[in-house]
Amino acid sequence: MLIKIDPLIFYKHFKINGAGRSGAFCALDANLDLLKRTGQIDVFEYAKKMINSRPNLVDSVEQYIFIYEALSEAVLCNVQPIAMYQLKNRSGMYRSKGNRQLMEIQDSHENKLLYMLTPVLRIGDCAGGHRMENRGKNRDVMVVPPDHARPYLQTLHGESKDYTYINAVEVDGFTRKAEFIVTEWPKQHTVDSFWTLIFDHSCHTVVNLTNQQNSKMYPQFIHNKGKQNYGPFVVEVLNYQQYPAMTSHMVKIQKRVGFGFSDFQCYFAIDILIISRPSFLSNLSFYLVK
């Protein structure tokens, strides 16, 4: 197969073992472009052409394997982001039972794909969640975060020996690592940890995607007006709004230090969805217009 190599300019200090990484980048870029134009890839031919031009542009078997694995993931995932202007039409598909079932099948396929591509965690990778003092903080002892990806709490609160733990995990965004934090609905004795997470990690927006009616199993973690204490924090509701499929709280949080408050104040909005996910998405156009 003949491969056209478009001009690609990059700067790298090749004396510090950077040639191989640059070569891997070039191989990925060229093959992704080839895939887009022809629906095919040819790693071997392109790598051979690069190595003939400069021997060290792919200088290890590991880098060669990485090129194949990265391209394999790109082909399997076929990432097609949904543009903002398309959200209104896509959300309207949930109104039709047939379209809704089709989208649920697509979601199921994507979940299986993610499960296949995600490395399997060992118990040792999640040691924090399996410690005796932390087991009661999890809704399911088999669903705990890996230590390398969980947010650690700094503020002393509660009576647990390990006040740094909460069942939560950091998730990468489209452009930044650890852009989001995902956590489970707090239990009665972990509501204070939930607010500690918000304060310690400066979470300015909290979105709740479920509406659990059982107040014993799923206690409220936000009130509708006035002030309320949550462990070492005082949370004041500044504004509360109800929408057809959502409630929104604008709150101010302050941390008590001794008999006073810290100077740091965190302002953030809490959006609590009050109906099922498909119903909310069918009304998403309302919020996009707003």
Walk along the chain (290 residues) in steps of 10 and give the mean pLDDT of each run. 47 52 85 89 86 80 89 82 74 76 84 86 90 95 94 90 95 90 94 94 84 80 91 89 80 76 51 48 52
pTM confidence score: 0.74
- For residues 158 and 281, what is the distance between their CA atoms, to the nearest angstrom? 38
Residue written as token pair 């109906």: 275
- For residues 127 and 114, what is the distance between their CA atoms, to the nearest angstrom? 23
- CA distance to 60, 165, 176, 178, per residue, from 173 (Å): 30, 23, 5, 7
Residue written as token pair 């609590």: 272
Query: What pLDDT is attached to residue 117?
Result: 84
Query: What pLDDT is attached to residue 5?
Result: 47
Query: What pLDDT is attached to residue 77?
Result: 83
